[in-house]
Amino acid sequence: MAIYMPRRDKHNYYLDIADTVLKRGTCLRRNYGAIIVKNDEILSTGYVGAPRKRMNCIDLGYCLRQKLDVSRGQRYELCRSVHSEVNAIISAPRRDMIGATMYLVGREAGSGQFIKNADCCTMCKRVVINAGIETVVIRDDETNFRIINVQNWVDNDDLLENVDVNIGY
């Protein structure tokens, strides 16, 4: 008699694939894997890594942001890497991404633990919006995830919070 494993739900199936993709990442702090899916077809994948032909942090043996003790979500201009979301987006035609879903998984490079409250950074949110992606699914742990409607990022523009709109030039 054959023993069957329970079938994985669709979201976790794609998140598992994104989790595998992140293993190509070259960041010494945090690695993310992203895949873009439309009509049950994977359009592209992306992981964290330096631009092509540039040295990665794992090649250099250090992370500048880590060396300078830069907090999460700050000073991304010091990072050598292109984020997984951007790498997935630049590998797919926009016409195919309109209405698609991005699956995103993040793990701490040192411990391999899932990143708590993982999310797209402000710059990646802008790129996701412009790509026409409709939904982002982010893994919290092995089976739990959050589903984000990208329209919420448009409607709740985080750059307008705490900004004085009467700034003169």
Structure confidence by residue, pLDDT tens digits, 82-105: 999 999 999 999 999 999 999 999
Strands 41-47 and 135-139: unpaired
Task: List residues bridging with 53 in a β-sheet.
Answer: none
Q: If you average pLDDT over every residue of the chain, what do you get?
A: 90
Are 140 and 146 spatial neighbours (Cβ–Cβ below 8 Å)? yes
Per-residue confidence (pLDDT) for residue 63, from 0 to 100:
84
Q: Tens digit of pLDDT for each residue in 55-75?
A: 898 998 988 888 888 887 778
Residue 165: what pLDDT? 52
pLDDT at position 73: 73
Q: In the chain, pLDDT over 70 holds for what percent of residues?
A: 93
Is residue 30 a contact partner of residue 105, using CB atoms and an 8 Å limit? no
Q: Say how far apart CA 62 and CA 130 lie, in whole Å.
A: 33
As a whole number, mean pLDDT of residues 32-42 equals 97
Q: By 3-state DSSP, what share of the chain in percent is helix, strand and coil, each rounded to 5?
A: 30, 20, 45
Local confidence band at 166 (pLDDT 50, 70, 90 cut-offs): low
The DSSP bridge pattern shows strands 135-139 and 101-108 to be parallel
